[in-house]
């Protein structure tokens, strides 16, 4: 697929028909996936942080934070990737992670601006942000990208033999 085709396909996300309906459902699906991912990862961190606290009690802070980031992040990624496999929609599922990254970046900038005068609150926020955001985006988003590209490659090979 050429760059020109990719650009046209991306523009189709935002095009509407004359009666106001979207031409491409992928945009709506990907935003829905992003909202679902946010709920799943939020629930994973909410449910697993209290379970992990007694286990990581005597460990150094950096190791405790790392475990507190990876275990809920991995659990959430497994649930989200299972949904991706279950629904069979690879590209919108991956784009959900892209939108989640955009939301996280906007949230980070907004919180840094709002907390610029309170250094203690900003440092607490940044520590929590580093614990809770990069792992789901890297594990889940990277895996979703790999699954999407792999399925796209299989579709291309299937078309070659027809």
The per-residue pLDDT for range 22-72, each reduced to its tens digit, is 556 777 788 889 999 999 999 999 999 889 989 888 899 889 989 989 999
Kindly state whether residue 116 falls inside one of the protein's structural domains.
yes
Q: pLDDT band at 162, cuts 50/70/90? A: very low
- For the stretch 129-149, pLDDT in tens is 998 999 999 999 999 999 888
Kindly state whether residue 75 falls inside one of the protein's structural domains.
yes
Kindly state whether residue 85 falls inside one of the protein's structural domains.
yes
Kindly state whether residue 80 falls inside one of the protein's structural domains.
yes
Distance in angstroms (rounded) separating the CA atoms of residues 65 and 132 = 10
Read off the tokens for 161.
């033999």
First to last CA, the chain: 18
pTM for this structure? 0.76
> CA neighbours within 13 Å on the CB side: how many for 125?
16
Kindly state whether residue 19 falls inside one of the protein's structural domains.
no
Kindly state whether residue 131 falls inside one of the protein's structural domains.
yes
Q: How many domains does the chain divide into?
A: 1
């Amino acid at each position: 697929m050429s760059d020109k085709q990719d650009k046209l396909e991306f523009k189709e996300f935002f095009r509407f028909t004359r009666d106001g309906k979207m031409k491409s459902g992928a945009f709506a699906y990907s935003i829905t996936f992003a909202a679902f991912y946010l709920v799943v990862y939020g629930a994973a961190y909410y449910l697993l942080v209290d379970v992990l606290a007694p286990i990581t009690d005597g460990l150094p802070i950096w190791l405790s934070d790392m475990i507190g980031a990876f275990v809920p992040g991995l659990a959430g990624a497994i649930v989200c990737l299972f949904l991706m496999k279950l629904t069979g929609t690879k590209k919108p599922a991956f784009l959900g992670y892209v939108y989640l990254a955009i939301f996280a970046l906007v949230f980070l900038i907004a919180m840094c601006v709002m907390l610029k005068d309170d250094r203690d609150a900003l440092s607490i926020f940044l520590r929590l942000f580093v614990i809770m955001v990069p792992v789901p985006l890297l594990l889940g988003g990277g895996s979703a990208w790999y699954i999407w590209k792999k399925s796209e490659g299989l579709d291309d090979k299937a078309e070659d033999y027809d």
